[in-house]
Structure 1
Amino acid sequence: MSDDDARLDEVAAELLALPPARFTAARNERAADLGGVVGRRVAKLRKPTVAAWALNLLVRDGQLGEAVELSRALHEAQDDRDAAELARLGRQRRQLVAALARRAGELAADAGTPLSPAMADAVEKGVNAAIVDETAAAAILTGRLVAAVDLAALDGDTLGQAVAGSVPDALPAPPPRDDLAARRARKAAERAVREAERARADAEREQASIERKLDAAREKADRAHERVDALRADLVRAENDASEADAAVQQREGERTDAADAVRAAVRALARAQAERDGVEE
Structure 2
Amino acid sequence: MVGTTFEEIAAGLYSGPPEAFVSSRKARAAEADAHLASRILALRKPSIAAWVVNVFAQERAGQLGEALELARELREAQDDLDAAALAKLGRERRALTRKLAQAAGELAASRGERVTSSTLDAVEQSISAAFYDPAAAAAVASGRLSRALDPSATQNDIRDAVAGDVPELDPVSLPPADELQARRARREAERAIAAAEKDQASAERELTTRDKALRELRAKRGELAERTSELENELARIREELRRAEHDLPEAERSREDAATRAEAAADALDLARKAKDAL
| TM-score normalised to structure 2 length | 0.60
Given the alignment of the two structures, is residue 164 of structure 1 paired with residue 166 of structure 2, yes or no?
A: no
Q: Does 1:44 align with 2:31?
A: no
Query: Distance in 2 between the 1:97 and 1:34 partners?
Result: 38
Whole-Å separation in 2 of the counterparts to 1:145 and 1:133:
15
Distance 1:119 1:191, change over 3 A: farther
Q: Which residue of 1 aligns with 2:136?
A: 136
Cα-Cα RMSD: 2.7
The Cα offsets for residues 102-156 of structure 1, whole Å up to 9 and x where unpaired, read as 011011101110211111111111010001111211222211001111123x247
Q: SS of the residue aligned with 2:93?
A: helix
Other-structure match for 1:242 = none
Provide, for residues 244-275 of structure 1, a one-character-per-residue CA deviation record: whole Å limited to 9, x for no partner: xxxxxxxxxxxxxxxxxxxxxxxxxxxxxxxx
Distance 1:85 1:26 in 2: 49
**Amino acid in the other structure paired with 2:166:** V
Matched residue pairs, number? 186
Give the AA of the match of 2:86. L
SS of match in other structure, 1:47: coil
1:142 and 1:106 map into 2 onto residues whose CA distance is 20
Matched-pair contact (CA < 8 Å) for 1:53–1:146: yes
Find the aligned partners of 2:9 and 2:189 in 1 and give their Cα distance: 39
Q: Which runs of 5+ in 2 are unaligned?
A: 192-280
Q: TM-score, normalised by structure 1?
A: 0.60
Displacement of 1:66 in angstroms is 1.5
CA change 1:190–1:37 in 2 (3 A) is farther
Q: For residues 214-256 of structure 1, give each alpha carbon's deviation from its aligned partner in whole angstroms, at most 9, with x where no partner exists.
A: xxxxxxxxxxxxxxxxxxxxxxxxxxxxxxxxxxxxxxxxxxx
Which runs of no fewer than 5 residues in structure 1 stay unpaired? 1-5, 194-282
After superposition, the Cα gap between the structure-2 partners of 1:71 and 1:176, relative to the gap in structure 1 and judged at 3 Å, is: closer
> Deviations 1:184-235 (Å, cap 9, x if unpaired)?
5457889999xxxxxxxxxxxxxxxxxxxxxxxxxxxxxxxxxxxxxxxxxx
- The 1:134–1:175 alpha-carbon spacing in structure 2 relative to 1, beyond 3 Å, is closer
Percent identity, please.
44
Which residue in the other structure is 1:182 paired with? Answer: 180
| C-alpha contact (below 8 Å) 2:130/2:151 kept by paired residues | no
Counterpart residue number, 1:53 = 51
- Contact 1:73 1:185 survives alignment (8 Å): no
